């Protein structure tokens, strides 16, 4: 275990300690816009479903109850474009982060294998690759796959992207799926933010019929209800796709006892069957996003023009392309105003001039951040 720990980077959030302390000293208190943890209530009907299934005296099945498996399949067909004729494996996961972190190991990848992911990326893609002993590589997932280096065994894509909010079109996803089949690479698509589209109509799935037809070979979709339904505390997610990849992962998880609790399975099935609560939550985030966007502009910052979806603003100083002001400069200036944001280098050295601002603070906190942010212009010079 110590050997594996030595392979991993330092947990990045610890480095925000000084900024958090400065922000906490602000007369009005700190406004935290860092981690994207939901603050809005779990829908009442989902909580009721959890209680209904709370007499859970037996072990749940690793593959999920028939009710949950059918709910996932129906959701994928109804909202993610999966063809009714596609043969797709389904496996519940105890939160998408554990699936992201363990996927290379569950797939049997190790030394000599290469895991690729976007240049601006959720750190756990890198952590999971290191834990398995794989090499890592950053690629531009919006570029022509023919330009990517050879030798990639597993490619992570993330659309809408965390942190940058970029969205891959169905045509680009189709090119990526075709590249995976041509090269033998597994394509894993992290789609946790798909319900939060702002500047585009949709963020298609890697399992969409426009992307792969009825053939999901080599393709995996990872999905979570943390953002769609405020179920971060339930750890409710799943992976779906190529049955030949899902089956051995299922057996390994059986051996390890990775089982989603039965009450959570029932609550997740009920949540997946309802779309109205997800639309209402999207509207709440849309309102918060509009308030923050206006304040960001008043602060002399700019949101990435391609940041058209997801749970964050992806911000740098306006005008100079961010060359003279680093993400940490913005972090420290925000801390003086009692606002905590995440520096871009948490997500890759290529984006160290950015900061990530989360939309998950409550309405009052977002309004207070917006009131303070215009003062940032003078602090940055």
Residue 1's pLDDT band, with cuts at 50, 70 and 90, is: very low
Q: How much is the CA Rg of the chain, to the nearest whole Å?
A: 21
Question: Does residue 359 contact residue 289 with C-beta atoms inside 8 Å?
Answer: yes
Question: Does residue 180 contact residue 153 with C-beta atoms inside 8 Å?
Answer: no
Residues 182 and 74 in one domain: yes
The domain total for the chain is 2
Q: Average pLDDT, stretch 266-289?
A: 98
Q: What CATH number does the domain containing 285 carry?
A: 3.90.1150.10
Tokens standing for 255? Answer: 């051996």
Residues 85 and 229 in one domain: yes
Residues 113 and 9 in one domain: no
Among 172, 247, 229, residue whose Cα is nearest residue 205? 172
Residue 7 is predicted with a pLDDT of 62
* C-alpha distances out from residue 96 to 86, 159, 177, 192, 375, Å: 23, 14, 21, 8, 38
Residue 183 is predicted with a pLDDT of 97
Q: Is the pLDDT assigned to residue 57 strictly greater than 60? A: yes
Residue 2 is predicted with a pLDDT of 45
Indicate the average pLDDT of the chain: 94
Residues 132 and 161 in one domain: yes
Residues 333 and 206 in one domain: no
Residue 152 is predicted with a pLDDT of 98
pLDDT tens across 310-361, in order? 999 999 998 866 568 999 999 999 999 999 999 999 888 888 999 999 999 9
Question: Does residue 216 contact residue 181 with C-beta atoms inside 8 Å?
Answer: no
Q: Is the pLDDT assigned to residue 9 strictly greater than 80? A: no
Residue 278 is predicted with a pLDDT of 97
pLDDT tens across 147-178, in order? 999 999 999 999 999 999 999 999 999 999 99
Among 40, 62, 16, residue whose Cα is nearest residue 253? 62
CA distance from start to end of the chain: 47
Residues 215 and 97 in one domain: yes
Residues 216 and 109 in one domain: yes
Q: For the chain, what is the largest distance between any 2 Cα atoms, rounded to a whole number of angstroms? A: 62
Of 249, 274, 299, the position where a domain reaches its end is: 274
Tell me the three state secondary structure of residue 158: strand
Question: Does residue 201 contact residue 187 with C-beta atoms inside 8 Å?
Answer: no
Domain that holds residue 139: 44-274
Residues 236 and 361 in one domain: no
Q: What CATH number does the domain containing 96 carry?
A: 3.40.640.10
Give bridge partners of residue 242 from the DSSP assignment.
none
Residue 320 is predicted with a pLDDT of 62
Among 193, 187, 191, residue whose Cα is nearest residue 175? 187
Residues 334 and 257 in one domain: no
Residue 324 is predicted with a pLDDT of 83
Residue 36 is predicted with a pLDDT of 87
Residues 133 and 203 in one domain: yes
Q: Is the pLDDT assigned to residue 221 strictly greater than 70? A: yes
Residues 54 and 122 in one domain: yes
């Amino acid at each position: 275990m110590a050997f594996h720990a030595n392979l991993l980077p330092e947990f990045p959030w610890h480095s925000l300690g000084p900024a958090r302390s400065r922000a906490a000293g602000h007369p009005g208190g700190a406004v935290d816009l860092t981690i994207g943890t939901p603050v809005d209530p779990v829908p009442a009907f989902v909580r009721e479903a959890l209680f209904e299934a709370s007499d859970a005296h037996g072990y749940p099945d690793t593959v999920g109850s028939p009710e949950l498996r059918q709910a996932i399949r129906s959701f994928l067909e109804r909202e993610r474009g999966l063809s009714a004729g596609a043969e797709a494996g389904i496996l519940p996961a105890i939160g998408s982060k554990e699936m992201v972190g363990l996927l290379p190991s569950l797939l049997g990848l190790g030394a000599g294998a290469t895991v690729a992911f976007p240049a601006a990326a959720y750190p756990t893609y890198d952590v999971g690759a290191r834990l398995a002993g794989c090499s890592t590589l950053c690629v531009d997932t919006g570029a022509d796959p023919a330009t990517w280096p050879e030798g990639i065994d597993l490619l992570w894509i993330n659309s809408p992207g965390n942190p940058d909010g970029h969205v891959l079109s169905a045509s680009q996803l189709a090119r990526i799926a075709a590249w995976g089949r041509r090269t033998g690479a597994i394509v894993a698509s992290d789609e946790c933010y798909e319900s939060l589209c702002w500047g585009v109509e949709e963020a298609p799935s890697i399992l969409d019929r426009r992307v792969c037809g009825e053939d999901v070979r080599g393709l995996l979709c990872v999905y979570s209800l943390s953002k769609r339904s405020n179920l971060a505390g339930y750890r409710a997610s799943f992976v779906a796709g190529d049955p030949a990849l899902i089956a051995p992962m299922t057996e390994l998880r059986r051996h390890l006892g990775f089982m989603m609790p039965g009450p959570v399975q029932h609550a997740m099935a009920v949540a997946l069957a309802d779309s109205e609560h997800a639309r209402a939550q999207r509207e709440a985030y849309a309102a918060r996003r509009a308030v923050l966007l206006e304040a960001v502009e008043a602060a002399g910052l700019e949101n990435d023009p391609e940041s058209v979806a997801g749970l964050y603003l992806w911000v740098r100083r306006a005008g100079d392309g961010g060359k003279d002001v680093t993400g940490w400069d913005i972090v420290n200036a925000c801390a003086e105003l009692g606002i905590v944001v995440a520096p871009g280098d948490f997500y890759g050295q290529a984006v160290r001039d950015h900061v990530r601002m989360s939309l998950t603070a409550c309405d009052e906190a977002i309004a207070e951040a917006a009131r303070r942010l215009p003062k940032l212009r003078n602090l940055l010079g």
